Amino acid sequence: MRAEVPASGVENPWVEEVQISGHIIDSLILPKILDLITAGRGSFRIKQITIGQARTDPSFALVEVQAPSREVLQDILAQISDHGAVPTALQDCTLVEADMEGAFPEGFYSTTNQRTEIRIGGRWIEVGDQEMDCGVAVNPAGTEARCVAMSDVQKGERIVIGHAGVRVFPHQRATQRQDFEFMNSSVSTEKPKGVAIRQVAQEFFRTKAAGGKSLLVGGPAIVHTGSGEHVCQLIRRGYINTLFAGNALATHDIEQSLFGTSLGVHLEHGGLAEAGHEHHLRAINRIRRVGGIRNAVETGMLRSGIMYECVKNNVDYLLAGSIRDDGPLPEVITDALDAQRQMRTKIRDVQFCLMIATTLHSIAVGNLLPAWVKVVCVDINPSTVIKLSDRGSFQTVGLVTDVEPFFRALVTELNALESGR
């Protein structure tokens, strides 16, 4: 039986009671939910509130949501459910079979990147492969649920419809804060960076020590700015387990290895060698002629650089294509959907992700990662960092700084951590 009923009052006839728990004050969850209710043209009545007396104590609130129509009420519930507001009148989720391939049924539940459970037969089941902007598919037995991308929907799959029977557990800032103290105002360029870089080093160090997996998502500026050797060190020392990049990073890295230039700039003396753009193309052409990066390493043609170290150290690399690519290198996955599918597989067990100097790949990976994976995004351009946080990847800690000095300092900090053992 539904608790959602027309209220007796005239103006707000539709009502539903929701509960919220956790660090709802400290994490700004309650204010956010109350704000959404009002902004969505509803109103609220706080029926009960218990606020944790210490910072680590959880709080609890019981809120009655009122709305002028059923549609408005549903819209509001949909929004606040993404922030952890769960109707107290429990009900199972609604499942509908997909009537076609590659599209959801109308009214499908659209996922967040937060931990989510759905209720089937009175039991709460955790949703697997959590990823934002997907649907939730349930196996025929109704015992397992997982996120499914729109383009991967199979006809006949059972898909969750609406927000009923779905609950979301928002990632709570309070906890996270101890990890990254510097996250408060991430786009400022006038904050001390030393602390932030040390924390990134600690994250790499802890992840490696715990046998976890770290992912580097990087753009070609890593090579342009002369940071390639720093990244090679991180790879050789086991800090980077997976690399996501595009054709450009790999090509400039290989160009640098074969010709000593990156986009025509001689890295060791900074002068311009204008033939550089030719070098770029010739590097790709040579790799295509030998059939790929791995072959180039094995035949001894490629003897240094980031891609060389990836092959030698079994780093799981993925090169995703884009329409601005020259060539591209044989390993580049030119189909965007293919690339997304392969990235999904490779991020399943990532614990820490460093995104650096690439807007395209950072946003793509940010879309795929669940909220509990720690992400640090480094770029010298504040707008990249702003874009990432504008798009809902709110777990992302942004750091506006320069690529090469960042990596140089990161290696120094890791040296300190290692010798401190």
Residue indicated by tokens 């580097």: 216
Q: Which of 3, 89, 281, 301 binds a copy of itself (CB under 8 A)?
A: 281
Judged by CB under 8 A, the residue of 72, 311, 336, 417 near a copy of itself is 336
Region of 303 please: left (phi>0), alpha (psi -120 to 50) or beta: alpha
- Residue 419 sits in the site that holds a copy of itself (CB under 8 A): no
Q: Is 133 in the site for a copy of itself (CB under 8 A)?
A: yes
Please say whether the beta carbons of 287 and 241 come within 8 A.
no
Do 317 and 241 touch, CB atoms closer than 8 A? no
Q: What is the separation of C-alpha 220 from the centre of its chain, rounded to a whole number of angstroms?
A: 20
With contacts defined by CB under 8 A, name the span among 113-121, 140-148, 204-212, 316-324 that binds a copy of itself.
316-324
| Residues in binding contact with a copy of itself, number by CB under 8 A | 115
Counting contacts by CB under 8 A, is residue 299 touching a copy of itself?
no
Q: Which residue has the tokens 């791995």?
A: 294
Chain positions 137 to 166 lying near a copy of itself, rule: CB under 8 A, are 150-151
Residue that is written with structure tokens 């094995």 in the block: 298
88-117: contacts with a copy of itself (CB under 8 A): 100, 102-104, 106, 108, 110
Binding residue (CB under 8 A) for a copy of itself from 17, 92, 152, 326: 326
Interface of this chain with a copy of itself, residues 373 to 392, rule: CB under 8 A: 380-383, 386-387, 390, 392
- Selected binder of a copy of itself within 322, 344, 372, 394 (CB under 8 A): 322
Q: Is 7 in the site for a copy of itself (CB under 8 A)?
A: no
Query: Residues with Cβ < 8 Å from 307, sequence gap 6 or more?
Result: 250, 253, 254, 257, 293, 297, 317
Give the range of 122-130, 282-290, 292-300, 309-317 binding a copy of itself by CB under 8 A: 282-290
Q: Which is nearer to a copy of itself, 143 or 188 (CB)?
A: 188
Angle, helix 194-209 to helix 403-419, in steps of 10 degrees: 50
Q: In this structure, what are the phi and psi dihedrals at residue 364, rounded to the nearest 5 degrees?
A: -60, -45
| Segment lying near a copy of itself (by CB under 8 A), choices 21-29, 115-123, 203-211, 299-307 | 21-29
In angstroms and rounded to an integer, the radius of gyration of the C-alpha atoms of the chain is 25
C-alpha span between 319 and 299 (Å, rounded) = 21
Which of the ranges 201-209, 305-313, 346-354, 356-364 carries the binding residues for a copy of itself, by CB under 8 A? 356-364
Smallest gap from Cβ 141 to a copy of itself, in A, equals 26
Instruction: Count Cβ atoms below 10 Å from residue 62 Cβ, excluding itself.
Output: 16
Length of the chain, in residues: 421
| Least distance CB 144 / a copy of itself (angstroms) | 23
Stretch 57-86 residues interacting with a copy of itself (CB under 8 A): 75, 78-79, 82
Q: Which CB sits closer to a copy of itself, 55 or 123?
A: 55
Q: Is residue 6 a contact point for a copy of itself (CB under 8 A)?
A: no
Q: Does 402 bind a copy of itself (CB under 8 A)?
A: yes
Residue 192 binds to a copy of itself (criterion: CB under 8 A): yes
Cα 252 from Cα 224, distance rounded (Å): 8
Minimum CB separation from a copy of itself for residue 145, in Å?
A: 18
Considering only 216, 307, 339, 350, the residue that binds a copy of itself (CB under 8 A) is 339
Residue closer to a copy of itself by CB (options 171, 361) is 361
Query: Rounded to an integer, what distance in angstroms lies between the CA atom of residue 401 and that of residue 405?
Result: 8
Q: Is 234 in the site for a copy of itself (CB under 8 A)?
A: no
Asked if 187 interacts with a copy of itself (CB under 8 A), we say yes
Instruction: List, in order, residues 6 or more apart from 325 with CB less than 8 Å away.
Output: 246, 247, 248, 332, 334
- C-alpha span between 248 and 198 (Å, rounded): 29
170 binds a copy of itself (CB under 8 A): no
By CB under 8 A, which span of 86-94, 194-202, 297-305, 306-314 interacts with a copy of itself? 194-202
CB of 211 to a copy of itself, least distance (A): 28
Task: Return the structure tokens found at 195.
Answer: 């602390």
Q: Which is nearer to a copy of itself, 374 or 387 (CB)?
A: 387
Sheet holding 158-161, edge to edge: 94-97, 158-161, 135-138, 145-148, 123-128, 115-120, 166-169
Using left for φ > 0, alpha for ψ between -120 and 50, and beta otherwise, residue 122 falls in left
